[in-house]
Chain A
Amino acid sequence: MVAIEQDRKVTQLKTAAMTETTDTPTEHHVDLAVPGYHGQEVELGRETVGNVRCDNAFMVAENVNVYYGDNHAIRDVTLEIGKKQVVALIGPSGCGKSTFLRCLNRMNDTIETARVTGNILLDGTDIYSKQQDPVALRARVGIVFQKPNPFPKSIYDNVAYGPRIHGLAGDRSELDGIVHSSLERAGLLKEVKDRLEEPGTSLSGGQQQRLCIARTIAVNPEVILMDEPCSALDPIATARIEDLMDELCEDYAIVIVTHSMQQAARVSRRVAYFHLGYLVEVDDTDKVFTNPQHKLTEDYITGRIG
């Protein structure tokens, strides 16, 4: 919190000396002038500023476009997600963060009108290729949704569902072990260990969200996508989830959508700022928060947008 305040001051100091984002437009390149938030026009180019590449890239999105019917929701986004790192997606509401996130494990396949172009590689293989089974993909790339959505089954069955369908546990005791450790890591075990047979829907909103996180990590995915996982949580539970992310990112890649700058600053190694479907800026978290390259990013993180 304090760090952010300081960051803001730094940012404001640097505003005067801001380098204008002047990406040289190529001919097939449609530039879009969007109204800025202080009256002046801000150029929103197709080129993302900052650094979309990273070392040790595990998931690579190249020139991804997503259309919902005629609605062009994601415009030519290129982004690499490295192993053992947390990437935070930030941006105003409706800018396409969830949409981009859902591309990464092909959840957009389930939306009739959605169409995805471009390449997304997971560990070098194209996840949108014909050979790729979305079922296998989703076991490797887990997702936690914006709204908690536990199954109307017992808490135990909620967490055990993924391991069961993928046959991850040899016997009942192994399954018990997975369920308990997943609940523990999601910071929920203490609250529910005596009522594992009660329906998951009987939990509070925040508990449900942690149940959903437990359910996702029970499958042991390689990449975890989290869509505002803490929007329904109190600060204690949020801290727990953030600790969990710290812990998980030692093994996995994590992509998190968040509306909280503080959270992004706390948990992520890199930050990607989306605006109207464009990926405006990506860089290391401290760079983005201390020295944003793009006017829109700066406006957003200093609280002048959204």
Chain B
Amino acid sequence: MSTELTTRQKVEAGLARRRRKEFTFRLVGMFATAVGILFLVIFFATLLGKGSSAFSQTFLQLNVEFNEDVLAPNGELDLIYADFDGLIRTALLNELPDVSGRGERRELYRLVSIGAGYQIQEMIAQNSELMGTTQSIWVPVSANVDMLMKGNIDASLDESLRPLSDWQIGWINKLDQAGRLDKKFNTALFTNGDSREPELAGIKGATMGSFFMLVVTIALSFPIGVAAAIYLEEFAPKNRWSDLIEVNINNLAAVPSIVFGLLGLAVFINWMALPRSAPLVGGLVLTLLTLPVIIIASRAAIKAVPPSIREAALGLGASQMQVVFHHVLPLAMPGMLTGAIIGMSRALGESAPLLMIGMIAFVVDVPGSFTDPSTALPVQIYLWADSPERAFAERTSAAIIVLLGFLLLMNLTAVIIRKRMERKW
């Protein structure tokens, strides 16, 4: 008894070591989490720092005279060819009367975005009674002026090293002091399609493109994926063929996405002759991409339904169909929906396969249907990131913020759905 350790002594002897192990493990875990969070914070901070300025845009207040002689020289207003820009120019010259000479004037005109003319056009189109009146309106300035106002262009640099001339900077300062320049919310970013002019470029086209694609994707991949999962889990005989299918589905989930793009190009565009750059084709390609994800998630959700529930229903004389639709599906639905939403958010963030089917085209118009040419949000980000203009850099970040916002929203929906539906269990 004296040499023999009792169980209690043995347990106590090992206790310190166990505690130490647990402590180190916790420490490592905490460190790993902290590193992860740190990177996330850095990522969001830089993104917000770079992108938040894109949500505002500098506007110039001009007193524009809707001059009938300019707009309708022969008594008839031509909404398309009328010289709206001329009105802006006149207003600018009125603002800075000492500007003279052709070169100087041309530089002056460049302060204002070409969007200003369109703004006038729209105003007239909506309200022809403006003709002959003088209105004080805010028009967007050009991207370079905007960059200067946001401090992204260093005015102290030599003239040849910056996109704005000394004259232009002088006029800007003058207008600024007169209180004519002001930063406002950049609605164009959300209401316009893509544009060569950064101040007019918006993500609406890309967002709508992404939206149409996701509609196609969810409408196809969720029912097909769930049906396939149910069939494979509940009805298919377990043999070599179903094993083969299972292995292949798992492999498909790991196939690089660009391969799906190539497949889409070959099948949907070359063989089925569907239009290029269309959200329909993009949606089909993304369907291929998300199907394996949804099938795998759905099968896991179905597998997680306790067999005792199935037995209970079968024992009462429910048919296989009734077991699936009355008992298995309702219990598996949260898992399936979570899988679907995760698949969707993967689809939303995907750009590589879309490049292959021509969705990288420069599309100005906001797509209105599934077959209109369009881009998608991630492709738009890629396009803008590729543009040399400084103003596109901040828009790139802004578009990323919007994309992340959508992803966050989708994942939040997944969490909420899961919480909501699991409570029944």
Contacts and interface: CB of A to CB of B under 8 A. Distances in A.
B78 interface: no
Contact of A142 (B306, B315, B327): B315
B313 interface: yes
Contacts of A136: 317
A64 to B, nearest CB: 19
A199 interface: yes
Given A112-B238, A147-B308, A199-B424, A165 B316 contact: yes
Nearest to B305: A152
A295 B319 CA distance: 44
B311 A110 contact: yes
Interface stretch (A5-13, A22-30, A211-219, A245-253): A211-219
Contacts of A135: 317-319
Given A145-B308, A149-B309, A199-B424, A107 B316 contact: no
Interface string A211-229: 0100110010000000000
Contacts of B241: none
A161 interface: yes
Interface in A133-148: 135-139, 142-143, 145, 147
A216 B331 contact: no
A166 interface: yes
Contacts of B304: none
A67 interface: no
A151 B312 contact: yes
Most buried by A among B314, B316, B322, B326: B316
A162 B317 contact: yes
A263 B322 CA distance: 36
A275 B326 CA distance: 38
A115 to B, nearest CB: 14
B39 interface: no
Contacts of A91: none
Contacts of A166: 317
B308 A138 contact: no
A113 to B, nearest CB: 10
B310 A110 contact: yes
A138 B309 contact: no
A161 B317 CA distance: 10
Contact of A149 (B311, B317, B318): B311
A107 B312 contact: no
Contacts of A216: 315-316
Nearest to A136: B317
B425 interface: yes
Contact of B312 (A137, A145, A219): A145
Interface string A166-200: 10000000000000000000000000000000010
Nearest to A140: B317
B422 to A, nearest CB: 10
B312 A150 contact: yes
A152 B317 contact: no
Contacts of B317: 135-139, 162, 165-166, 219
A149 B308 contact: yes
A268 interface: no
B313 A107 contact: no
Contacts of B327: 151
Given A149-B308, A149-B309, A105 B315 contact: yes
Contacts of A143: 315
A135 B327 CA distance: 16
Contacts of B306: 149
A212 B312 contact: yes
A105 B424 CA distance: 31
A228 B313 CA distance: 19
Given A152-B331, A152-B425, A199-B424, A107 B318 contact: no
Contacts of B331: 152
Interface in B283-339: 306, 308-319, 322, 326-327, 331
Nearest to A145: B311
Interface in B328-365: 331
A219 B316 CA distance: 7
A57 B318 CA distance: 27
Nearest to A166: B317
Contact of B316 (A110, A147, A201, A215): A215
A219 B308 CA distance: 19
A162 B317 CA distance: 7
Contacts of A201: 425
Contacts of B309: 149, 151-152
Given A112-B238, A152-B425, A161 B311 contact: no
B315 A165 contact: no
A165 B311 contact: no
A169 B425 CA distance: 27
A218 B308 CA distance: 19
Contact of B313 (A105, A137, A142, A151): A151
Contacts of B310: 110
Most buried by A among B313, B317, B424, B425: B317
B378 to A, nearest CB: 40
A253 B86 CA distance: 99
Given A145-B312, A212-B312, 11 more contacts: A105-B315, A107-B311, A145-B311, A149-B308, A152-B309, A161-B316, A165-B319, A166-B317, A199-B424, A216-B315, A216-B316
25 contacts: A107-B314, A107-B315, A110-B310, A110-B311, A110-B314, A112-B238, A135-B318, A136-B317, A138-B315, A138-B316, A139-B316, A142-B316, A145-B308, A147-B308, A149-B308, A151-B309, A151-B327, A152-B331, A161-B316, A165-B316, A165-B317, A165-B319, A212-B312, A216-B315, A219-B316
